[in-house]
A = this chain, B = another copy of it.
Amino acid sequence: MAVLGANGRMGSEAVRAVGAAPDMELVAALGRGDSLEAVLDAGARYVVDLTVPDSTEENVRFAVEHGLHAVVGTTGWTAERLASLDALLAEHAGTGVLIAPNFALGSVLASAFAAKASRYFESVEIVELHHPDKVDAPSGTAVRTAQLIAAARSEAGVGPSPDATVKQLEGARGADVEGVRVHAVRLRGLVAHQEVLLGGPGEQLTLRHDSFDRASFMPGVLLGLREVAAHPGLTVGLDGYLDLGL
């Protein structure tokens, strides 16, 4: 394995996690300015890219061109970049790339479960809770979860969540993301947390995910590395590697 972006916060966690995994061998850890050739010299067959939006595309294309599988946590992959990478992968049969915006297994599972469950309940809302230094509200994860839920409900023909509110203080009922209400709490001491609340007559289902630490991303990165060779071509989202069917 080679880790790119090894000096960053996520990268240094990955160096530690890969180093500690009994079934993996870390052969290269590259920082900003290091030449990609070092990955080949070290004999790596897998690359973990945890760099920056400006360099991730070049890194991943380099890996694919040399037949290396890649697991990518860097953001900045526009639809155009993805299409271009997809075309490149078509020329390199057998090489796999996983690009995942979120490597926390619990978060990916919670979103998938929320979308599945949402068609069976009258009501659904999201409460996300983060530390107070976060600049955007709601979180990107909460917006994506709401979109997944909205799509699942629309496909199943489920109507909007009931709401008799006629008198409200501005903002009390949260933000409206494609018909799903999303509330953002900001609290000192917290890291990153999300609850999807689903309600029907006489019952409630709550799916909560707590991220306490960046360490939460590492099991997902390792799972990606273990599975990427078995998934040639481009996969976007860790859920593509999870066995979620019944």
Binding site for B on A (CB under 8 A): 104-107, 109-110, 112-113, 116-117, 119-125, 127, 129, 132-138, 143, 161-177, 181-191, 197-219, 223, 239, 242-246
Q: Which residues of B contact A132 (CB under 8 A)?
A: 122-123, 161-164, 199
Q: Which residues of B contact A206 (CB under 8 A)?
A: 206-210
Closest B residue to A107 by beta carbon equals B203
A28 to B99 Cα, complex, angstroms: 51
Is A129 touching B201 in the complex (CB atoms < 8 A)?
no
24 A-B Cβ contacts within 8 A? A105-B205, A106-B200, A113-B116, A113-B117, A116-B243, A122-B188, A125-B185, A127-B127, A127-B185, A132-B164, A135-B165, A171-B172, A171-B174, A171-B176, A172-B174, A185-B197, A187-B197, A200-B216, A202-B211, A202-B214, A202-B217, A203-B212, A205-B209, A206-B207
Copies of this chain present: 4
Is B163 touching A200 in the complex (CB atoms < 8 A)?
no
List of 4 A-B pairs having minimum Cβ-Cβ separation, nearest first: A202-B213, A202-B216, A187-B199, A203-B216
Closest B residue to A169 by beta carbon equals B175
Give which listed residue, B110, B167, B171, B183, contacts A205 with CB less than 8 A.
Answer: B110
Q: Which residues of B contact A168 (CB under 8 A)?
A: 136-138, 175, 184
A110 to B110 Cα, complex, angstroms: 11
Given A121-B188, A173-B171, A209 and B203 touching (CB < 8 A)? yes
Q: Which residues of B contact A185 (CB under 8 A)?
A: 125, 127, 174, 181, 183, 197
Is A182 touching B187 in the complex (CB atoms < 8 A)?
no
